[in-house]
Structures are given as C-alpha cells and as structure tokens.
Amino acid sequence: MEGRSVKVGAGSTAAHGRYNPAGPCAPQQRNYFATIQALSNMQITRRLEFDAGHRIPNHQSQCRHLHGHRYALEVTLSGGVIDASDRPDDGMVMDFSEVKALAKRHVVDLWDHAFLVWSGDQLVAEFLAGIPNHKTVVLERVPTAENLARLAFAILDPLYRNNYGNLLRLERVRLYETPNCWADAYRADKA
C-alpha cells in the first residue's frame, strides 16, 4: 500500500504513513487552519546556562561553604503569534535569539563566572572585595535558587513586556541550581 497525503491547511499537505482508507482510523478531511487561528496566544521558553559561585551562610549543611553550580535559566514568555508575512518574525511569539539576547545581557553575562554574595555575609563579601578584578555580585538577599529566580524575574519583566506589540509578557523564570533542584518565579509571585 502507498502512503497518502491529507490536506492540512491552505494549500499544504502532510504525508501520512500507510493506512487502510476503508478502516476505522482513516484520516478525515479537516480545516486545521481554524485550529491554528484559535491558538494565536502561546507560551515559549528559552534556556540559558551559566556558572557561578555562592554560599548560604546560615545553612545547616554543605551549602554554608563556598561552592559553585552550573545554573540553567529558563525564561517563559506568553504573547500573540505574529501573523505578518512581510516580517522576519512571522509565526513567532518572539524570536528565540532575541529572548536569549535580553536574558544574556541583563542576567547571564552579569552572573556568569561571578561569585554571588549576600551583602549581609560580611566575611565573604570583604574577602572578595580584597581580590583585585574579581567578578563579584553583591545581592540584597541570600543567593538561594529562590531568591535568584525572583531577582531574575524582576530584572527581566520590564524588558520583555509588550516588546513586540503582541501583548508579550514574562510568565515564569525557572532557575536550576542542579539538574534535580530548581525554583520557579511566576508572574503571580511578583506582586
């Protein structure tokens, strides 16, 4: 038996594998374009990675020591899918390269290969200040995954908001401290 093409949109076809045209699972002629139009608002996510050191000074276990992580930052945006055939971002919520560029410039480049230290951790903050040209980021809160996710959300939210004229907005920042541990900062958390 041969494969068969089924019309899925305005003039396009999608090849399907072998099937019995008389069988109960035969594909039905459908208007997928109507479904696509109904999905005009979507979410997209871009992931970036960076390395940084920190410590949680009052932690009761290993995290009280100076150490580092391979962090991963996921930025989730929602917005309308751009429907403009004359634009390079046609069919996108936002170009992933632009999502990356903003997060990289305003968060990742600042935190990558830096030591993230709480301003109240005076011993470590003073030690790091004494190292010439050391990349140190002094934070107003303890650099837990939760606090870093909240801070990244606060930094990035105004940068993405309505940036494309398609009601674009930041919905979530997920920060992985390890592959098994992460914190989510959601729009609802930003009150």
Residues belonging to the active site: 63, 113, 177
Give the whole-angstrom CA distance, residue 89 versus residue 92.
5
Percentage helix, strand, coil for the chain under 3-state DSSP, each rounded to 5: 30, 30, 40
As a residue count, the chain comes to 191
- Closest to 7 (Cα-Cα) out of 23, 26, 31, 37: 31
Q: Using an 8 Å Cβ cutoff, are 103 and 156 in contact?
A: yes
> What are the Cα distances from residue 147, in Å, to 5, 139, 151?
52, 10, 6
Which of the 8 DSSP states describes residue 60?
Answer: S
> What are the Cα distances from residue 89, in Å, to 65, 126, 147, 159?
46, 47, 33, 18
